Structure 1
Amino acid sequence: MKILGISAFYHDSAAAYIEDGKIIAAAQEERFTRKKHDPAFPTHAVQYCLSEAGVQLSDLDAIVFYDKPLLKMERLLETYYAFSPKGLLSFLTAIPVWLKEKMFLKRMLYEELFDIQHFDKKKVKLLFPEHHLSHAASAFYPSPFDDAAILTLDGVGEWATASIGHGKGNTLSILKELKFPHSLGLLYSAFTYFLGFKVNSGEYKLMGLAPYGRHGSKEVEQYKKLIREVLVDIKPDGSIWLNQEYFNYATGLRMVYDAKWEALFGFPTRESESNLEQKHCDLGLAIQEITEEVVILMAHEAKRLTGSKACVLAGGVALNCVANGKLKDAGIFDDIFIQPAAGDAGGALGAALAAHYIYFDQARSIDASKLDAMSGSYLGPSYSDKEIEQMAKENQAKFTYFDDFKELSAKTAELLAEGNVIGWFQGRMEFGPRALGGRSILGDPRNPEMQKKLNLKIKYREGFRPFAPSVLAEDVHEYFECDTISPYMLLVHGVKPARRKEMPANYEQLEMMEKLYFLRSDLPSITHIDYSARIQTVHAETNPRYHQLISDFKSTTGIGVVVNTSFNVRGEPIVCTPADAYRCLMRTEMDYLVVGNYLFDKKVQAPWEESDAWKKEFVLD
């Protein structure tokens, strides 16, 4: 059974290919086009998946699109009707696009696919599962559980904005749904907008900003009181009702009515890139804590409805790793699994899996010897020595080749221990928003200057943003308050108290940026200001080269942890090819690049003949 899944035309377009239920390949279109969150038809991703699998479109049993466009059209029309005459401008803007693209989506899909390869469309089924079913399938079927509750939370699909489901064997049922316009994802995005970050990409910044809020302070508690009393009514089962007098997303062109929010919270919508003040941090903490509260309530309801011991999550809100950590710590379920490509990109994979197990009713088996069926999420393209050397030749790049990878790994560990920043490009590219040691920038977590250096000289981004640790899975208990694996960097847990350093007595009264550079632990570059860390456990069975490097770093320093951030500059998609990686090396103050068995030293490269105009190429995220 050969199935291709596609997500497209909203944001984070992607393609995924499965064969007899096994996930063979998956990639986001942005990585090939270099347009972040590219919503276009994923031509390059489809071509990659077919090439990786060695199949043609004519070999497929089905091509599956991740949602039902006619249901979305129904929601659009009913919403405008319900809110009329408000939203006329938005209606006139949206409807022509929908009529052209979404109403004739089947024809559009065939045209795009025929541009790749011609095939007999009568012999290949074209299927359209619902959006939240695709999310649910992406979480349950790759999980290591035969029985699990399913939570999907995002902005909106067709009508559903959140759902509770139950997976058992090869079956999957949706038990309960929250409907548009009431949405936890859209509520969080509204605060993302109000606090000056970009909707659909800046939510993780809001999550990183929240710990700068003053926990338990009267300001934070007052903000939470206002949110609960005016903006959102939270029900005991985790469902919510949003006061649409304050939100503009249903029919307008903005997330909120700015003047009403200014009157409610006492300050205006923050301008992008303007200074962050304590009030912004406190409001960020308030909405983060309310989000966590809703997720926990919904998890209790999922437990009540299913009786399952495990829970799986997908949808954009499932990328809120702080809430995920709180859910794990709540002990509602014995275990949880979060789809690493939890957003719309993962819908391509979920659509394919839903077709395989639900439409075609194929049997499901779980390999107990594996963490899950995602192969560490290393599902994108890899590159040969020949391709790496061709890139070096084209750029007149100087390198050292190592016949023995262990020798290269030991050398790289030494360079990290000396304070160097290293681009690490190995094997297959990750599927999903997190760099997991395939396309990563690495540093020494003991170095108190590493966070500042990475933010300001490599990533060109705000200094407040934290960096994640990659830790040997077998050593995670030595460094973090974590009793589980976290292979996809989707859980936040505390740094062990024994590793923490006491903050000064006046710490809570300090300005935001003054708080940033205090030494909070003996691993300062990965310890956020609330002593937390977004953890990636590294497993020898899914990424032996990355595991080897961290093991060598431990042999050199005594610490089995490295700083890991995505291999890109701010506003750019994560690098895909060796050429992307070399370009990033030369554009930044990175010190070394390791691609496969090749080591590139920045100091000996020819001058990079390029102006700073490239910085305008990427829209700030």
Structure 2
Amino acid sequence: MNILGISAYYHDSAAALIQDGVVVAAAQEERFTRKKQDAGFPRAAALFCLDAAHSAEIDHIVFYDKPLLKFERLLETYLSFAPKGFRSFRAGLPVWAKEKLFLRSLLTKELAALPGCTPASQDLLFSEHHLSHAASAFYPSPFSEAVVLTMDGVGEWATTSVAIGRGRELRIVRDLVFPHSLGLLYSAFTSYAGFRVNSGEYKLMGLAPYGEPRFAKKIYEHLVDVKPDGTFRLNQRYFNYCTGLSMTNARFQQLFGQPPRLPESPLEDFHADIAASIQQVTEDIILRMTRALAKETGQRNLCLAGGVALNCVANGKILADGAFAHVWIQPASGDAGGALGAALAAYHLHAEAPRSVHHPDAMFASALGPEYSPAEIEAALLAAGARSVFVKDDLLFDETAEALAAGEVVGWFQGRMEFGPRALGNRSILGDPRRADMQKKLNLKIKFRESFRPFAPSVLAEEATEWFDMHAPTSPYMLTVTKVAEQRRVVSAQHAAAHHGMKDQHLVRSTIPAVTHTDFSSRVQTVQAGQNPRYHRLLKAFSEITDCPMLINTSFNVRNEPIVCTPSEAFACFMATDMDRLVIGNFVLKKSEQNRALAVNYASNYEMD
């Protein structure tokens, strides 16, 4: 049975294909259109998935939420706040009246335009938003049964939901509903700090360790009422997302004593303190929830999905807390992953097909996107005017490791593109974590982004515990934060605590300073030979040269550009930045050998995030 899942029309559109319950292909539309967080119908992503089906008949096409329920929320929210909410209601109504109320006919039309895809009405199914998220987390997990916690901004009505999964069964047992949303609370502070909602939350999380949570008490007193089990209510007097076109209002600004930060304006200690405060509150709410769920259900396994599950600092706290023995997080936890979850829900719940449990999981290292043959790579590089050399495997990994050890920044393009927001060694930019200047260089000259933002290490799984305080055996999807091991630190905890502000962001704290954040934290990716053999082999070669079994791993893109998908996009990014070397498959390109006339001011093509 072949099932195509679709998420679209809000943000992070995507398509995913499963065959007899096995995930075959999945990709975000932004990777093909080059439009960050593309919300349109995922035509290119769907075509990629259909191609992966090899002309097999598609039995069902599943949309990841129920638009009529979402419209019900829009309407009831307006009526609840009327006439105050009329401006917001008026802004959204034309889109609903034109498209979203008639989504079945719109989807049928879009799908019929795809070659080889002519869905009958009965073949088009609709899943609920949080059920799609929960299915994306439970069914690929290595657990036969688990609690599934989904947290995001809002689906149709639900903002937080709890499901129980057993075998092929998955049932949502309770939820919190709009407007009380942990995701929207965090996004309100993201907006207030001058970052873009739905993409800047990563920045707020990275900014938090530079601050003091001095506003946490004020948040509890005025904004959110939290119960011992983690359920909560937000005081809508301070927010504007129900009735206006912004996240917060003047009362919110008065509470914290400053107007919202303008995008791209300087960051101050105040903004770091704001970030630290909401991060602490978020962690507290989530930990109350997970502890209560573990006690109530007696379950030892937890699955996470939804946008809040991308808060890897909070994820690390869940692991360290130990209320659940095992935690698995969907690597595409946001709305893109809803496409995959919708397809899996249709297979196991609608078609009632049995489920098999796979170890370490059923996501195939999230390498589910397009890949390119040597002939395709060579043709793309020739067309772009690139100068490359084909290097066989017996030399490729050692030569690349030596270049990295010498301080080069390397674009690393191998195999299938990753599904989800993280580059995991297939579409990555790599550097030497031992170099104190590497974090600043990557931020300012490669990524064109703020200098405070931390980078993650990819470490050989078998060496991870020697370098980090691991709370789980592996962390393959870069979704949890832990601490650099004590023996790798070069300053005391007291000294670091006294020098953790924005002005001290480049203080060397460990022997791997480029991946050590101001509080000794690090967002670790463990790499296993069985999951990503080529990346593991490169890390092994680097370790043999340097005695350091890890590399900096950041996504292959510049600020606000989607991660590169094709060889030609990789070459364009390489030429537009200060990367020294590009390795695509076995083709090696050195910057010093390229025609500099091919370089363009490419970062200016992308709106700042």
Give the distance between the partners of 1:616 and 1:546, measured in 2 at CA.
31
Q: Is the 1:233–1:242 contact (alpha carbons within 8 Å) kept by the matching residues of 2?
A: yes
Matched residue, 2:455: 467
In the TM superposition, residue 305 of structure 1 has moved relative to its aligned partner by: 3.8
Give the distance between the partners of 2:551 and 2:314, measured in 1 at CA.
24
Structure 1 stretch displaced more, 111-120 or 583-592: 111-120
Give the distance between the partners of 1:376 and 1:119, measured in 2 at CA.
28
Give the distance between the partners of 2:253 and 2:77, measured in 1 at CA.
26
Matched residue, 2:31: 31
Aligned ranges 1:106-125 → 2 under 5 Å: 106-117=104-115, 119-122=117-120, 125=123
Q: Is the 2:290–2:323 contact (alpha carbons within 8 Å) kept by the matching residues of 1?
A: yes
Matched residue, 1:217: none
Segments of structure 2 that go 5 or more residues without pairing to the other structure are: none
Give the distance between the partners of 1:616 and 1:591, measured in 2 at CA.
21
Matched residue, 2:534: 545
Matched residue, 2:303: 312
Aligned ranges 1:164-563 → 2 under 5 Å: 164-214=162-212, 220-221=213-214, 223-257=215-249, 259-367=250-358, 370-403=359-392, 405-484=393-472, 485-502=474-491, 512-563=501-552
Q: Which TM-score applies when normalising by structure 1?
A: 0.96
Give the distance between the partners of 1:511 and 1:562, measured in 2 at CA.
24
Q: Is the 1:60–1:124 contact (alpha carbons within 8 Å) kept by the matching residues of 2?
A: no
Deviation digits for residues 281-329 of structure 1, max 9, x if unmatched?
Answer: 1111010011001111111232234321100000000000000000000
Deviation digits for residues 430-468 of structure 1, max 9, x if unmatched?
Answer: 000000000000000001110011001000000000000
Q: Is the 1:472–1:561 contact (alpha carbons within 8 Å) kept by the matching residues of 2?
A: yes
SS in 2 for 1:116: coil
Q: Is the 1:151–1:302 contact (alpha carbons within 8 Å) kept by the matching residues of 2?
A: no
Q: Which TM-score applies when normalising by structure 2?
A: 0.98
Q: Give the alignment partner of residue 557 of structure 2, picking from 563, 568, 579.
A: 568
Q: Give the alignment partner of residue 587 of structure 1, picking from 548, 571, 576.
A: 576
Structure 1 3/541 Cα, relative in aligned 2: closer, same or farther at 3 Å?
A: same
Deviation digits for residues 331-357 of structure 1, max 9, x if unmatched?
Answer: 001100000000000000000000000
Give the distance between the partners of 1:86 and 1:362, measured in 2 at CA.
48
Structure 1 505/316 Cα, relative in aligned 2: closer, same or farther at 3 Å?
A: closer
Could you tell me which amino acid in structure 1 is paired with residue 588 of structure 2?
L
Give the distance between the partners of 1:512 and 1:297, measured in 2 at CA.
29
Deviation digits for residues 130-160 of structure 1, max 9, x if unmatched?
Answer: 0000000000000000010000000000000
Could you tell me which amino acid in structure 2 is paired with residue 546 of structure 1?
Y
What root-mean-square deviation, in Å, do the aligned CA atoms of Structure 1 and Structure 2 show? 1.4
Q: Is the 2:448–2:603 contact (alpha carbons within 8 Å) kept by the matching residues of 1?
A: no
Deviation digits for residues 227-249 of structure 1, max 9, x if unmatched?
Answer: 00100101122111111111000
Give the distance between the partners of 2:241 and 2:120, measured in 1 at CA.
40
Q: Is the 2:210–2:500 contact (alpha carbons within 8 Å) kept by the matching residues of 1?
A: no
Give the distance between the partners of 1:564 and 1:468, measured in 2 at CA.
6
Give the distance between the partners of 2:576 and 2:104, measured in 1 at CA.
42
Q: Is the 1:138–1:346 contact (alpha carbons within 8 Å) kept by the matching residues of 2?
A: yes
Structure 1 stretch displaced more, 521-530 or 117-126: 117-126
Give the distance between the partners of 1:303 and 1:230, measured in 2 at CA.
29
Q: Is the 1:165–1:302 contact (alpha carbons within 8 Å) kept by the matching residues of 2?
A: no
Could you tell me which amino acid in structure 2 is paired with residue 434 of structure 1?
R
Deviation digits for residues 397-427 of structure 1, max 9, x if unmatched?
Answer: 1111113x13101100000000000000000
Matched residue, 1:142: 140
Q: Is the 2:150–2:306 contact (alpha carbons within 8 Å) kept by the matching residues of 1?
A: yes
In the TM superposition, residue 122 of structure 1 has moved relative to its aligned partner by: 3.1
Give the distance between the partners of 2:536 and 2:116, measured in 1 at CA.
43
* Count of aligned residue pairs for this structure pair: 608
Give the distance between the partners of 1:504 and 1:141, measured in 2 at CA.
41
Q: Is the 2:445–2:577 contact (alpha carbons within 8 Å) kept by the matching residues of 1?
A: yes
Segments of structure 1 that go 5 or more residues without pairing to the other structure are: 215-219
SS in 2 for 1:362: coil
SS in 2 for 1:489: coil
In the TM superposition, residue 505 of structure 1 has moved relative to its aligned partner by: 6.9
Give the distance between the partners of 1:473 and 1:194, measured in 2 at CA.
38
In the TM superposition, residue 510 of structure 1 has moved relative to its aligned partner by: 5.5
Could you tell me which amino acid in structure 2 is paired with residue 82 of structure 1?
S
Could you tell me which amino acid in structure 1 is paired with residue 457 of structure 2?
P
Give the distance between the partners of 1:118 and 1:383, measured in 2 at CA.
23
Give the distance between the partners of 1:394 and 1:179, measured in 2 at CA.
52
In the TM superposition, residue 506 of structure 1 has moved relative to its aligned partner by: 7.0
Matched residue, 1:50: 50
In the TM superposition, residue 268 of structure 1 has moved relative to its aligned partner by: 1.3
Aligned ranges 1:75-154 → 2 under 5 Å: 75-117=73-115, 119-122=117-120, 125-154=123-152
Give the distance between the partners of 2:437 and 2:556, measured in 1 at CA.
19
Give the distance between the partners of 2:487 and 2:447, measured in 1 at CA.
31
SS in 1 for 2:596: coil
Q: Is the 1:166–1:306 contact (alpha carbons within 8 Å) kept by the matching residues of 2?
A: no
SS in 2 for 1:18: strand
SS in 2 for 1:190: helix
Structure 1 305/360 Cα, relative in aligned 2: closer, same or farther at 3 Å?
A: farther
Q: Is the 1:63–1:124 contact (alpha carbons within 8 Å) kept by the matching residues of 2?
A: no
Give the distance between the partners of 1:203 and 1:600, measured in 2 at CA.
35
Deviation digits for residues 62-120 of structure 1, max 9, x if unmatched?
Answer: 00000000000000000000000112111111011111111010011011111113555
SS in 1 for 2:275: helix
Structure 1 stretch displaced more, 114-123 or 518-527: 114-123
Q: Is the 2:133–2:306 contact (alpha carbons within 8 Å) kept by the matching residues of 1?
A: yes
In the TM superposition, residue 511 of structure 1 has moved relative to its aligned partner by: 8.2
Could you tell me which amino acid in structure 2 is paired with residue 303 of structure 1?
A
What is the identity percentage for the equivalent residue pairs of Structure 1 and Structure 2? Answer: 56
SS in 1 for 2:263: coil
Structure 1 152/319 Cα, relative in aligned 2: closer, same or farther at 3 Å?
A: same
Give the distance between the partners of 1:608 and 1:344, measured in 2 at CA.
39
Structure 1 511/164 Cα, relative in aligned 2: closer, same or farther at 3 Å?
A: closer
